[in-house]
Amino acid sequence: MAGVEPPPRQLGRAVAGVVAILVLALALPLQYAWFVPADLLSRYPQASDAVNHLCGIAGCRGWSLPDRRELIRMASRGVRVHPKYGGAL
Protein backbone atom coordinates (compact mmCIF):
# COMPACT_ATOMS: atom_id res chain seq x y z
CA MET A 1 0.00 0.00 0.00
CA ALA A 2 1.64 3.11 -1.20
CA GLY A 3 1.54 6.21 0.92
CA VAL A 4 0.90 4.45 4.25
CA GLU A 5 3.59 5.13 6.80
CA PRO A 6 4.28 2.64 9.59
CA PRO A 7 3.52 3.88 13.10
CA PRO A 8 6.48 5.46 14.90
CA ARG A 9 8.39 3.18 17.21
CA GLN A 10 7.44 3.52 20.81
CA LEU A 11 10.72 3.41 22.66
CA GLY A 12 9.07 3.79 26.06
CA ARG A 13 6.99 0.65 25.64
CA ALA A 14 10.03 -1.34 24.50
CA VAL A 15 12.10 -0.20 27.49
CA ALA A 16 9.22 -0.95 29.85
CA GLY A 17 8.91 -4.44 28.35
CA VAL A 18 12.61 -5.16 28.78
CA VAL A 19 12.55 -3.91 32.38
CA ALA A 20 9.49 -6.06 33.13
CA ILE A 21 11.17 -9.15 31.66
CA LEU A 22 14.31 -8.56 33.73
CA VAL A 23 12.33 -8.02 36.94
CA LEU A 24 10.31 -11.18 36.35
CA ALA A 25 13.42 -13.19 35.49
CA LEU A 26 15.08 -12.06 38.73
CA ALA A 27 11.92 -12.81 40.71
CA LEU A 28 11.96 -16.51 39.80
CA PRO A 29 15.03 -17.53 41.84
CA LEU A 30 13.87 -15.36 44.74
CA GLN A 31 10.50 -17.11 44.75
CA TYR A 32 12.25 -20.48 44.70
CA ALA A 33 14.38 -19.45 47.68
CA TRP A 34 11.34 -18.12 49.54
CA PHE A 35 9.02 -21.09 49.06
CA VAL A 36 11.42 -24.06 49.13
CA PRO A 37 14.60 -22.97 50.93
CA ALA A 38 15.33 -26.46 52.24
CA ASP A 39 15.40 -27.83 48.69
CA LEU A 40 17.59 -24.95 47.57
CA LEU A 41 20.06 -25.58 50.37
CA SER A 42 20.11 -29.32 49.81
CA ARG A 43 21.00 -28.79 46.16
CA TYR A 44 23.32 -25.81 46.69
CA PRO A 45 24.71 -25.83 50.25
CA GLN A 46 27.06 -22.97 49.40
CA ALA A 47 23.99 -20.70 49.14
CA SER A 48 23.21 -20.95 52.87
CA ASP A 49 24.90 -17.64 53.73
CA ALA A 50 22.98 -15.81 51.00
CA VAL A 51 19.65 -17.40 51.97
CA ASN A 52 20.16 -16.56 55.65
CA HIS A 53 21.15 -12.99 54.72
CA LEU A 54 18.06 -12.56 52.55
CA CYS A 55 15.91 -14.05 55.31
CA GLY A 56 17.32 -11.48 57.70
CA ILE A 57 16.24 -8.72 55.32
CA ALA A 58 12.85 -10.22 54.45
CA GLY A 59 11.97 -11.30 57.98
CA CYS A 60 11.74 -15.04 57.34
CA ARG A 61 13.49 -17.55 59.53
CA GLY A 62 16.95 -18.71 58.52
CA TRP A 63 17.47 -22.20 57.19
CA SER A 64 20.19 -24.71 57.69
CA LEU A 65 20.44 -28.32 56.74
CA PRO A 66 20.07 -30.83 59.56
CA ASP A 67 23.04 -33.00 60.45
CA ARG A 68 21.65 -36.48 59.84
CA ARG A 69 24.72 -38.62 59.32
CA GLU A 70 23.04 -41.54 61.08
CA LEU A 71 20.90 -42.05 57.97
CA ILE A 72 23.95 -42.90 55.84
CA ARG A 73 24.61 -46.62 55.56
CA MET A 74 27.48 -48.31 53.78
CA ALA A 75 26.10 -50.68 51.16
CA SER A 76 29.36 -52.31 50.12
CA ARG A 77 33.01 -52.06 51.04
CA GLY A 78 34.34 -53.64 47.88
CA VAL A 79 36.38 -51.42 45.57
CA ARG A 80 37.19 -52.93 42.20
CA VAL A 81 38.72 -51.79 38.93
CA HIS A 82 36.13 -51.00 36.27
CA PRO A 83 36.12 -53.80 33.67
CA LYS A 84 35.77 -51.53 30.62
CA TYR A 85 37.57 -48.30 31.51
CA GLY A 86 41.16 -48.05 32.64
CA GLY A 87 41.94 -45.88 35.66
CA ALA A 88 38.31 -45.97 36.89
CA LEU A 89 36.91 -47.63 39.97
Domain boundaries, the chain: 12-64
Which amino acid, residue 25?
Answer: A
Considering just the CA atoms, what is the radius of gyration of the chain in Å?
26
> 30-81: per-residue pLDDT in tens?
888 778 877 888 888 888 888 778 778 877 766 666 778 888 888 878 777 8
Per-residue pLDDT band for 20 (boundaries 50, 70, 90) equals: very high
Phi-psi region of 10 (alpha: psi -120 to 50; beta: other; left: phi over 0): beta
